[in-house]
Chain A
């Protein structure tokens, strides 16, 4: 069964600090992995997308890494800001003919001043 597990479930950090969110998956065959940011009451917004051959992708203060061998990804947030408070969702899509992505439950990040 395709699964995406994220950790931690929630995280509280102080403004200006860095943090790293984890994503482990069992989705196979692998096509791509995406990280989304979901503000409260809003739809998810794409941060990064990585295919099998990519092991790192940056988008401003967000850097995602991918280890396709161990089926792990991380999202590193640098110099956190209050606006980073949101849920971060890891999404993995297969390449086996199904376009249906598998969603993680998300990590709820709270940035305190």
Chain B
């Protein structure tokens, strides 16, 4: 299955600033997914990133707040913009395992906004 390198693993940020999270996959994948996992909650899909086109955002998430880049088939970034304490969460990237073993996830970025 694919191996995903996600960074940073954690960060503490001041409100009003922005943080960019990176995910590098060891193989080419068509779609990459970005999730948010708030404490004690299930994973919530933020958006799907396709190479060569704009990301598709789920209800409640907008591009101005969570801009996404997908410059090639192995890399994507998610930026959390103008952060507030409510953005404190774990952010995860994911790709679908083409071998049919499910979705592979990055190790996650634990973000704390103070």
- What residues of chain A have their CB less than 8 Å away from a CB belonging to chain B? 4, 34, 36, 41-46, 49, 89, 91, 99-101, 103-106
Contact = CB atoms under 8 A, between A and B. Distances in A.
Contacts of B107: 42-43
Contact of A46 (B48, B101, B108): B101
Main SS at interface, chain B: strand
Given A41-B108, A99-B31, A99-B96, A46 B42 contact: no
Contacts of B97: 46
Contacts of B106: 43
Interface of B: 1, 4, 6, 9-10, 31, 40-45, 48, 92, 94, 96-97, 100-108, 110
Contacts of B94: 43
A49 B100 CA distance: 8
A43 B105 contact: yes
Given A41-B110, A105-B40, A106-B42, A49 B105 contact: no
Given A4-B42, A44-B92, 9 more contacts: A41-B9, A41-B108, A43-B92, A43-B94, A49-B102, A91-B102, A99-B31, A100-B48, A105-B41
A19 B83 CA distance: 41
Nearest to A101: B103
A43 B108 contact: yes
27 contacts: A36-B102, A36-B105, A41-B10, A41-B108, A43-B6, A43-B94, A43-B105, A43-B106, A43-B107, A43-B108, A44-B43, A44-B92, A45-B105, A46-B1, A46-B101, A46-B102, A46-B103, A46-B104, A91-B103, A99-B31, A99-B96, A100-B45, A103-B43, A103-B44, A104-B42, A105-B42, A106-B42
B109 to A, nearest CB: 10
A42 B92 CA distance: 9
Contacts of A45: 105
